[in-house]
Structure formats: structure tokens, C-alpha cells
Amino acid sequence: MTRPSLHAVLDRYADRITDQTAQLTSTVAGADATAPVPGCPGWTLAHLMRHVGGAHRWAETVVRTRATGPVPDEQVNLVTPEADDDVPALSAWLTEGAAQFADTLREAGPEVRVWTVAPGGTPLFWARRMTYETVVHRFDATAAVGGTYTLDPDVALDGLEEWLEFSTLPQAYASEAELRTLLSPGRTLHFHVTDAPEGTGEWLIDLTGAPITVSHAHEKSTTAVRGPLTDLLLLLYQRRTPTPAEGIEVLGDEALFTDWVRGAGHWLRR
């Protein structure tokens, strides 16, 4: 099978950013901007929408300016709503920012050098990262309004791959000491997607020593995690919990899974 070009991959992510944003704004149409967001304690829909729009604009600035170092990120983190914030206005602002970011990505192309928070160093990193920033926060918005969330399998699969790749990086953890508490001879986690095509949807996370590695393998492990694809993605983002009745299971050393998700997910809480 011919692999898509880097330009095609970048274009696909740009499309996903605008599509996921459109789905988010459609989901919250008619909602109250002050509705609480279950996945983001203390946040309302207004906080969430300001955060997503700010993240798009922050990443757009990095790419547009060809930044060689960190860019101030106040617009990502300082998301206190204005008194007159409402969903229609915030939705229009979100849509505008996503479209601008997608245009900037396409103009830059996939190979120019830009600053990134992890290995990558090109607009492709930001295109992928902001895709899943939007995917997960669309789930948060859906939960806030009591809606039904669905996600295309190919999008969920790539999102899960991205999270697992991040989990191998030392900078994903709060400190080297916290990373090392997870490492021990014989420690492995096995992920199995129960609704993936046969021969796909399996990963082995090797915590036996540094560096942590992730591979596509089926092996007996310290901990096994099984479930539908989208549920496993949301489980890693701590939006779902193991629920055997819904087919989301953690078998073996459950404490290892809990500690690993919390530790490897530290980068999401910065």
C-alpha cells in the first residue's frame, strides 16, 4: 500500500481540525455558556470554548511565525469567561480560529522547522496535536450538554497512537523520579482494542527499564487493558473509567495502570 505524502497527511489533519470544531459547535448550539463541563472540574462551556480556541490560535502563531522557541500561552490557560460570553459568539470565534489555523498549516507545508513541545519540529506535530486537543474537548462539550459522542475509528486509532507515543517521552512526566517509579523488571501493559479489524489494535508498553517502548505486539503482560477503540482513547485521557459492563476492562495489576496513566498523562495537565 502506498503511504500518503506528508502534504496529504498535513491536509488531512487540517480537515480534521475544522471538522471536529464544526462538530463541537454544532453539539453546543442552544446550550448555556455557564453549563458545567464534567471532564474539566471548575470549567463551564465558556471556559472550554475559550481554551480550545486559544489553543488553536497559539499553535497557529507558532507555525505562522516559524517560532524557534516557546511562545507565550496565556490564551490557552487564562480562559476566564467575559460577562457577555455566549455560545453563538464563542462558536463563531472557534470556527474562525480553526479555519485560520488550517489555512496556516497548509501555507506552511509539512516540513518547515518550528518549535514543538516534543520531538517533531514541524507543522505536522501541531496539526496532529491540535486535532486531538479538539477531539477530546469535543467529548467534554458533548458530556456537558448530555449528548451522544461518536468518533471515526481512524481518528480514534491515530489519537490513541499519539498518546502512547507521548507516554514514552521523559518530558511527559512530572519528573525523572516519577518516571522511574513506574519502571521495574517484568512490568508491561498490553492494550487490546475489541472492535478493531483482526490483526490490528494491539500495543505492548514495556516498562521494564528506560527508555519506555511501545510496540504492536500480543504478549502476556502485567496488566491488560481491553475495550472499544474510542473508549480506550477516552480512558487514556481520563474521561472514562474501567467499566466491565460496557466492555472496558483492566485485568491484572490495576494499580500499575492507574499509576501509569496518571504519570504519563502529566503533560496534559500543564
DSSP, res 42 = T
107-131: average pLDDT? 97
- Under the phi-then-psi rule, with left for phi > 0, alpha for psi from -120 to 50, and beta for the rest, what region is 240? beta
Question: What was the pLDDT predicted at 218?
Answer: 87
Question: What was the pLDDT predicted at 191?
Answer: 96
Same fold flag, 6-149 and 157-269: no
Q: Say how many residues make up the chain.
A: 270
Topology (CATH) of 6-149: Four Helix Bundle (Hemerythrin (Met), subunit A) (1.20.120)
Helices (H), the chain: 6-28, 45-64, 74-77, 87-108, 123-144, 153-166, 176-181, 229-236, 254-264
Residue 69 has pLDDT above 70, yes or no: yes
All structural domains of the chain with their residue ranges: 6-149, 157-269
Pick the CATH number of 157-269 from 3.30.1050.10, 1.50.10.10, 3.90.1720.10, 2.30.30.30: 3.30.1050.10
Name the 3-class secondary structure at 226: strand
**What pLDDT, in 10s, does the model give residues 171-209?**
999 999 999 999 999 999 999 999 987 778 999 999 999
Question: What was the pLDDT predicted at 270?
Answer: 53
Cell numbers standing for residue 14: 487540517
Are 165 and 211 in contact by the 8 Å Cβ rule? The answer is: no
85 pLDDT band (50/70/90 cuts)?
very high
Q: How far is CA 250 from CA 18, 167, 254, 256, 257, in A?
A: 34, 18, 6, 10, 8
* Nearest CA-CA partner of 145 in 24, 41, 237, 51: 24
35-48: average pLDDT? 96
Name the 3-class secondary structure at 153: helix
Distance of CA 95 to the CA centre of its chain: 19
- What gap in Å lies between CA 163 and CA 265, rounded to an integer? 8
pLDDT > 90: percent of the chain = 93
269 pLDDT band (50/70/90 cuts)?
confident
- Under the phi-then-psi rule, with left for phi > 0, alpha for psi from -120 to 50, and beta for the rest, what region is 214? beta
Residue 126 has pLDDT above 90, yes or no: yes
Residue 3 has pLDDT above 90, yes or no: no
Residue 1 has pLDDT above 60, yes or no: no
Distance of CA 27 to the CA centre of its chain: 19
* Nearest CA-CA partner of 52 in 9, 23, 83, 12: 23
Question: What was the pLDDT predicted at 232?
Answer: 97
25-29: average pLDDT? 98
Instruction: State the amino acid at position 263 in one-letter form.
Output: G
* Nearest CA-CA partner of 60 in 23, 94, 22, 24: 94
Question: What was the pLDDT predicted at 2?
Answer: 67
**What pLDDT, in 10s, does the model give residues 129-183?**
999 999 999 999 999 999 999 999 999 999 999 999 999 999 999 999 999 999 9
